[in-house]
Amino acid sequence: MSTNKPNKKKVVVTTTSSNDPGRGAAQPRTRATAAAPSSVDFTFSRETYIWMGVGFVLVVLGMLLMGGGHMPDSNTWDDRIIYSTRRTLLAPIVILAGLVVEVYAIFKK
């Protein structure tokens, strides 16, 4: 029994760039080291962080305006202290203003 197997030829192709001075000489492999970036790109700019700080301060100020205060006497109830304009109107407006500033700071570009 004879089997006819075709001869398989292996073709090896090597390419070198025309700028290669060794032209076919083996180049030693070196580890690529990441160079320290000269400037880092942050998500937000310095101005954005300032706006976010202002918004945070407004929210904290509104919380402080809403809290605090106590009755002068534990046996009396004074609606004017609990339901004052400062707690029911001014403080929520300051908190909402702080949240608006935060949203503005995040979406500002």
What's the whole-model pTM score?
Answer: 0.59
17 found inside a domain: no
Q: Does some domain include residue 56?
A: yes
What's the pLDDT tens digit per position in 67-106? 877 788 888 888 888 888 999 999 999 999 999 999 999 9
Report how many domains make up the chain: 1
Structural domain range at position 97:
46-70+78-107
What tokens does 76 get?
């009396």
Tell me if residue 5 falls in helix, strand or coil: coil
Q: Is residue 98 part of a domain?
A: yes
Quick: pLDDT tens for 10-29: 777 777 666 655 555 566 66
Taking alpha carbons only, the member of 86, 56, 55 closest to residue 68 is 86
